[in-house]
Structure formats: structure tokens, C-alpha cells
Amino acid sequence: MSSRTRDIPVYVPEKPVKLLDQFRSWLRANHYRYQTEQTYVHWVVTYIRYHSLRHPRGMSTPEIEAFLTYLATQRQCSPATQKVALNSLNCFYRKFLKIDFPPLEFRRSRQYRRPPVVFTDQEARAVIEQLSDPFKLMAELMYGSGLRVSETLRLRIKDIDFGQGQLIIREGKGNKDRITVLSDQLHDRLNLQINLASSYYKYDRQNGVGPAWMPHALARKYSGEASQLGWQFIFPSNEPAKDPQTGIIRRHHHHPDTIRKHIKKAAQEVGLVKLCGPHTFRHSFATRLLESGYDIRTVQELLGHSDVSTTERYLHVMNRGGLGVISPLDRG
């Protein structure tokens, strides 16, 4: 299922009869993110199709184990993909259907530790120069602050601290908040982008467009805050759209596929053949900091990695390839 397909609002009847509609309704009642809802439903549908459309209530441990093994052995899914499928079925059976099962035994997907693709500083700047705002500013934030593309798009006006020269990342990967550096060179252009977001905000207030999206827990805790300027996305979408979960017309942020397409095109225009994308800027941010002598724990904290071993992989691509070894051909 493509990301564009997943963005199409799915109508759920007030009193759903079909099992998947009931599952969607339960996910929405329990305040799961819409992206999580789409992912979980996708894997439940894939599981049912794998077992020739048998009803899920008539299946249990053997069928779940067979499906997860199939993902590893025949579809050769990554460990992360297999884990998402497992989490989806756990939620569907244990939480929604209230059907428990013993610990599962299945073939685990093999973990391949591949070195990250990294831009040189010259390559990163060349790609950035091919972009125009707001996509150029997005790329500069990813390269200058180590942001993921989702974190860049979800930045809100209140998350920019010009005085301290920092960005506050809310609900990053693993639902964790963190603080990272903000380049001084971006202050003026960020202020221009904030002014643009503010103009959209004023227009929307005058034309009855709903408040900015907030996580459900925060929406309850800070009732009314979503209508305040500080909660507006820095990179608002060009047009308001219907919230697929609530039906409210609101202005969200740019779609991640849009910045991916712009960066891919920019890389082609400068002649890069690396398999690069928005995340390559984040890899490059970490590599530049390590090359500059910053402590690996500092880099780990700025990136929001739970385990330092994730950060250590950048040690293998900094300065030179091959663990920094100088080739015999290059010795004087």
C-alpha cells in the first residue's frame, strides 16, 4: 500500500458491522495515530489474504507463526517490517479481539548492518542549492540539525528557540522529546517561514478552518491551545484538508513524499548516483559532527538514538571509507 493510498480518508460507520471497520473504530476510540491505524489494518488484511481469506477468529498461534515466518523466508522482509507486522497482529488479537495466545515461535528476519549513505559536505550543499524554499529550508534543517523528515514537517512555531539557538523535537521516534542545535544562518529564513505560517493562520481563522492537529492526550490537556499561533506547523500545506479521523477541516503540514521527490530530483540534477533521500542529510549531520571531534554521546543525544551502537555506525564512514584506513596506493 502506497503512502498516498494510506492518506485517503476511510469512512467508518457509526455502528460498524464489518470486522475491519470495527477495528478501525476501536483504534480511533483509543486515540491511535491515523498512520498507525492504516499500518495495522494493512498488516491484518495481508495476514487474512495470506490465509485465503479465513476469518481471523478461526485462526490463532499456528497461523500467526506461519505468516511471520513467511515474511522472513519468502518475502525477505527486514526485521523492522516483521516487527511492525507482529505488533499489528498483537494489537488486533490481544487488545481488540481479546484473544490471547502463548509466546510465538517463528523464523526471525535476518539483521543486516549496512553502513549509512552519507553526503560529503560539498555534495550536501550542492543538492541544497538546487532546491527552493520551503524545501530548501527543510533540507537545511535536516542537514544542520539532524532532523528526520517527519520531525522537520511536524515542527511548530513554539518549537523554535532563537534565543538559545535550538530546536525542540516533540514526539520523535520512540515518542521521545529532545533538543538539538539550530544553525544561526537559518534564523532569518525561518522567521520568513514563520511569517508565512502566521498569514495562513490568520486566513484560516477568518474562514472557519479548524485548529491545528494535536495528539489526543494533549488536545484534552490543553483544550483550545490548537487554535493558538504557537501550535501551527512551520511548513503548512498549501490547502486545508479533511482530517481522516475526525472529519474536521484543518491545515496540516506538507506531505513527506513532496520533499522526497524534490530531493531526488535535486540529486539527479547535480549528477549524484548515490541512493540518497531526506534521511541522507541526517546521516551526514552525524558524520560531520564526529569528523569535527564531537563526543559520540553528544551526537547520540542530538540524534535521539536510544542505543549508542546506532550512533557508532557513523564512525565507519567519517573522513575516509574503510574505517579511515589509508590505501597503500595513496602512501608517499
- Angle formed by the axes of helices 19-29 and 34-50, nearest 10°: 150
Contacts 24+ apart (CB under 8 A), 291-298: 291/318, 291/319
**DSSP tag of 102:** P
Beta strands 249-250 and 241-242 are: antiparallel
DSSP 3-state of 169: strand
- Buried/exposed code over 258-279 (b: 16+ C-beta within 10 A; e: otherwise): bbeebbbebbeeeebeeebbbb
Q: Which of 107, 158, 173, 260 is catalytic?
A: 173
Q: Is 282 considered catalytic here? A: yes
Q: Is 220 considered catalytic here? A: no
Q: Which of 40, 143, 148, 251 is catalytic?
A: 148
Burial-class residue 282 by CB neighbours within 10 Å (0-12, 13-18, 19+). buried
Closest CA to 301 of 291, 293, 311: 311
Q: Is the peptide bond before 134 cis (omega within 30 degrees of 0)?
A: yes
DSSP 3-state of 166: strand
Whole-angstrom distance, CA of residue 166 vs CA of residue 187: 11
**Residue type at position 220:** R
Q: Which of 178, 282, 283, 288 is catalytic?
A: 282
**Residue type at position 250:** R
Query: Which cell numbers in the block locate residue 47?
Result: 495476514
Q: Is 75 considered catalytic here? A: no
Element (H, E) at 150: helix 149-153
Closest CA to 35 of 202, 238, 225, 244: 244
Q: Is 242 considered catalytic here? A: no
Is the separation of the CB atoms in 181 and 160 below 8 Å? no
Q: Is 54 considered catalytic here? A: no
Rg (CA), the chain: 23
Q: Is 50 considered catalytic here? A: no
Q: Which of 83, 136, 189, 279 is catalytic?
A: 279
Residues catalogued as catalytic: 148, 173, 279, 282, 305, 314
